[in-house]
Amino acid sequence: MTHRHFIVHKPFGYISQFITNHKNKKLLGDLHDFPEGTMAIGRLDQDSEGLLLLTTDGKMSELVRSRHIEKEYYAQVDGLISSEAIAQLQQGVEITVSKEVYQTLPCQAFKICQDPGFAPRSRKIRDDRHGPTSWVSITVTEGKYRQVRKMTAAVGFPTLRLVRVRIGNLQLLDLAPGAAQEIEGFVGILPIKKS
């Protein structure tokens, strides 16, 4: 059997599934007519956007979700993020996962000085009268539930918008929200992370 692989720019408001028991949920299958047996590798929650990998090869999922592959996110946060908060993110912070306190691993994090220029979200973030916002890049190899959101909140800058821009060497680039692109495979795209 020849497997097929896709990259998708998951828009805000969609869940990373093809079937669900919940009514009125927007699904990945609503975006395009993917082949039977297509599944998402990893997930982005309903409020998150960005790069999502799809495949008909279930064996790929374990590799991509492993700690060997970097995932980079751009987070728009409430307030002007400080260098102290960036340093805390880099060192790892305590978050709650399944009612347990969890210490995140050290990660790459830096302030993004210019607006990354993403297309406007389908639901407005908020009005400017509520104060300034800023953008931060966070690269992790873990995948705890809502981890990046919990990390920015832990340092005092709650996430307002979250976009995954990279998985391994594969980048979101100019892929429009809702767009999908078939690719040959993931070999060479998903390298082992740097030590």
Task: State the average pLDDT over residues 142-160.
Answer: 94
**Residues 143, 67: contact at Cβ < 8 Å?**
no
List pLDDT tens digits, range 55-84: 998 887 777 766 778 999 999 999 999 999
What pLDDT, on the 0 to 100 scale, is given for residue 189? 64
Task: State the average pLDDT over residues 126-140.
Answer: 88
The residues assigned a catalytic role are 45
In whole angstroms, how far apart are CA 20 and each of 10, 51, 173, 184? 17, 21, 29, 28
pTM of the entire predicted model = 0.91
Tokens of 24: 């009125």
Q: Which domains does the chain have, with CATH numbers?
A: 5-66+169-183 (3.30.70.580), 77-167 (3.30.70.1560)
Helical spans, DSSP H, in the chain: 59-65, 83-91, 147-154
d(CA 17, CA 15): 6
